[in-house]
Amino acid sequence: MASSNVSPLSRFFLKPLLDVRLGFALMRDRRVPVRTKVLALLIGVVVTALVEFLEFPIEGVLSMMLPLLGVLGDVVVDGAEAIAGPLLLAGALLPLLAPRNVVSQIRSERSTGAPNSPIIDI
């Protein structure tokens, strides 16, 4: 039996820490509880609102310096942040909040394409 030269620590770093595509797959999956999905979205909304609150003084100064362009840019950027921010953060957080067995099943389904193939961890 050949042993691999990959240490457990390097195996940890080979997996992406924030896998947004996996998060979106978990968001569509029925095996993940709705409560977990709503919690991820709420955390995303709160973090996005906090970022918006911290950006407010800088955006105010820019809108005073460039009145028309600053206000239009502020509306466009804030609108995009308000919609995309919570969704992206929820997608990044959902693999951490969802049940581990469901996350590992979906990871294996996405990597091999077979729905019930065994997970082999070496």
Q: Is residue 122 domain-resident?
A: no
Q: Is residue 4 domain-resident?
A: no
Q: What is the pLDDT of residue 31?
A: 92
User: Into how many domains does the chain fold?
Assistant: 1
Domain range for 58 = 18-111
Distance CA 35, CA 94 (A): 11
Q: Is residue 32 domain-resident?
A: yes
Distance CA 112, CA 97 (A): 23
- pTM, 2 dp: 0.69
Taken in order 92, 98, 104, 105, the sign of the CA dihedral is negative
Q: What is the pLDDT of residue 71?
A: 77
- Per residue of the chain (122 residues), what is the pLDDT tens digit? 445 565 665 555 556 667 888 899 999 999 999 999 999 999 999 999 999 888 878 777 877 888 877 778 778 888 888 899 999 999 999 999 999 999 888 888 887 655 565 666 66
- Say how many CA atoms lie within 13 Å of 43 toward its Cβ: 14
Q: What is the pLDDT of residue 94?
A: 92
